[in-house]
Amino acid sequence: MTKENTKKDTYSFKAEISKVLDIVIHSLYTDRSIFVRELVSNAADALEKMRHIRLTEDTGQENTLKIDISLDKENKIFSIRDNGIGMTQEELKKNLGTVAHSGVIEYLEKVKDKNDLQLIGQFGVGFYSAFMVAEKVEVISKSWKKNASAWKWTSDGKTGYSIEETDHDENGTIIKVYLKKDNELFIEKSQVETIIKKYSSFIPFDILIDEEKTETVQAIWKQLPSELKDEDYKTFYSFMWNDFSPPSFWIHFSTDAPISLDAILYFPGTNMEKFGLRGPEESEVSLYCKKVLIEPQAKDILPKYLRFVKGVIDSEDLPLNISRETLQDNSIIRKISRVLTSKIIKVLSEKMKKDKEKYNTFYTEFSRFIKEGVASDLERKEKLAQLLLFESLKNEEKITLDQYIENKKEDQEAIYYLMGADRKSLENSPYMELFKKNDTDVLFSYEPVDEFVFQNLMMYKDLRFVSADTQGANDISNEEKEKENKALIDWIKETLEGKIKDVKVASRLTDSPVMLVSENMSHGMQRVMEAMGNSGLAMNDDTSNETLEINP
């Protein structure tokens, strides 16, 4: 049969498609390279379906399923070919001429002003992204079905398309994108390769650019943890984040409710923020849908204080749910974030119990972030507080708040803490005398941020946090003794007038003659700041607001 004689049918686009095209063509703010991702995904889908058919039917085919991209510099054509299932004439009309998902119009309304089409592939209209860069697109396709003929679909993306019979020897599809002016970068091999690596590294088929194979990687998150070795996780980690120091540990899990997803989350070995190597705004978690990158460094997928966690999330629920929910308020992202956050806290708390050493190493690097969480995540602050560790008067090794409470005195109604530069100065502090005498433990803190943590928590398991250098810590009243020593007290008051607020007798002192006690906690922090600059437990210069407790 000679194809020249066959008739060419023209059709106009349905209203919905026209709307899609209108927005696609005028979308100034979209990263145009996503059209490559969309066409590669479609080719991979077609290959995946073909692989499935080969498993269930005798097609007699054994050739390797692959994607071939060729870059025609002379004619400025980007073309992509697959040997997948292909399309019949009817399928071409249906698949490339109608909208399959109802959510698409809603989505387009949402992005109309932003012109950002990152998620276009989630709505069954990814193909049309080619018109961002094309003045004409040709789709040559031949279905895998027996005796199917080949068809050519052509469109300029304006009013409609035409279909005619054509020649094509194997089943599969070729999509020829005739590039508009200023889109020459899409015929540059290195550029195309970069795009493929960014979005399509995990496509489970060979991708060739001008006959040269590009590097692809296993999407290990889709495998079972039992199939994987530690080495696989580590290799994947260094590939993804270019971080060649090994991660401390990781979790690989899947969930079905409230959203179905597969995820691997890594807890790095080093806190890079410490070195100023990454900023607090960055996310290291990427969002995939069926192995195709949807959002690199996805924003809001974890609360800010968990930004040190690196990972990949793959959710097939993404397309359906996103089209149903409004995109703007990102409720799906929030749902994922909730799932991940509880999982991370749970894993850390298990780690703390089961692998103390590993947890301690992790804690030394990342305690900052946990503390940030206690101060910022109202809903989970108690859970996060369980992850905190402190040295104490009685424990040189770090203990948890729960351990502190387990070993507290029976009538003890507060969690006492004291801030200072180091263990030695806190142990020798006069404020500790009474606590030593009473055999009461006191948490030691060497970081000013802890003051915020305690202030934010206020209570932990019904116990208040009380700084050991405040009046709240002096639980014994001394009216009797104050009367006895009135003359001494008056003399000191007179002598130190303006320098201190008050003079009182303190029975908590046994060896030291006097100590200064502040009324509120923030003085404790000032002292730590000073102590870091001076040696030992330096005192605040301005004591006019403090009480001098004396040991008569």
89 binds ligand ADP (CB under 6 A): no
We find the least distance from the C-beta atom of residue 130 to ligand ADP, in angstroms, to be 9
| 126 labeled binding residue | yes
We find the least distance from the C-beta atom of residue 339 to ligand ADP, in angstroms, to be 25
| 132 labeled binding residue | no
Binding mask 81-120 for Mg ion (x = CB under 5 A): ----------------------------------------
Q: How far is CA 331 from CA 90, 277, 344, in A?
A: 38, 31, 20
Least Cα distance to 3 among 168, 143, 176, 167 occurs for 167
| 84 labeled binding residue | no
Strands 547-550, 502-505: pairing kind: parallel
**Stretch binding Mg ion (CB under 5 A), from 49-57, 125-133, 353-361, 496-504:** 125-133
DSSP code of 503?
Answer: E
43 binds ligand ADP (CB under 6 A): yes
Contact between 133 and 180 (Cβ < 8 Å):
yes
Q: How many residues does the chain have?
A: 552
| 95 labeled binding residue | yes
Number of residues that bind Mg ion (CB under 5 A): 2
| Rounded-to-integer distance, Cα 168 and Cα 474, Å | 91
| Rounded-to-integer distance, Cα 179 and Cα 187, Å | 9
Contact between 388 and 372 (Cβ < 8 Å):
no
Contact between 267 and 249 (Cβ < 8 Å):
yes
CA 483 to centroid of chain Cα atoms: 63
Angle at 79 between CA 297 and CA 16, to 5 degrees: 70
Residue 43, contacted partner among Mg ion, ligand ADP, none, CB below 5-8 A by kind? ligand ADP
**330 — alpha (psi -120 to 50), left (phi > 0) or beta?**
left
Q: What backbone torsions phi and psi does residue 308 show, to the nearest 5 degrees? A: -80, -15
| 38 labeled binding residue | yes
| Rounded-to-integer distance, Cα 284 and Cα 340, Å | 13
Q: What backbone torsions phi and psi does residue 3 show, to the nearest 5 degrees? A: -75, -20
Residue 95, contacted partner among ligand ADP, Mg ion, none, CB below 5-8 A by kind? ligand ADP
Nearer to Mg ion, 42 or 143 (CB): 42
Two structure tokens written together for 474: 């002096």
319 binds Mg ion (CB under 5 A): no
Residue 547, contacted partner among Mg ion, ligand ADP, none, CB below 5-8 A by kind? none
Q: Which of 82, 262, 441, 469 binds ligand ADP (CB under 6 A)?
A: 82
| 420 labeled binding residue | no
474 binds ligand ADP (CB under 6 A): no
Residue 173, contacted partner among Mg ion, ligand ADP, none, CB below 5-8 A by kind? ligand ADP
Burial class of residue 284, CB neighbours in 10 A (0-12, 13-18, 19+): buried
Q: Which of 30, 33, 42, 315 binds Mg ion (CB under 5 A)?
A: 42
126 binds Mg ion (CB under 5 A): yes
| 438 labeled binding residue | no
Number of residues that bind ligand ADP (CB under 6 A): 18
**Stretch binding ligand ADP (CB under 6 A), from 35-43, 340-348, 365-373, 448-456:** 35-43
Burial class of residue 169, CB neighbours in 10 A (0-12, 13-18, 19+): exposed
We find the least distance from the C-beta atom of residue 127 to Mg ion, in angstroms, to be 6
Q: Which of 61, 95, 149, 349 binds ligand ADP (CB under 6 A)?
A: 95
CA 444 to centroid of chain Cα atoms: 32
Q: Which of 126, 157, 303, 430 binds ligand ADP (CB under 6 A)?
A: 126
Strands 77-82, 66-72: pairing kind: antiparallel
Binding positions for ligand ADP, rule: CB under 6 A: 38, 42-43, 45-46, 82, 84-87, 95-96, 121, 124-127, 173
| Annotated binding-site positions | 38, 42, 82, 87, 95, 102-103, 122-127, 173, 324
Binding positions for Mg ion, rule: CB under 5 A: 42, 126
| Annotated binding-site positions for ATP | 38, 42, 82, 87, 95, 102-103, 122-127, 173, 324
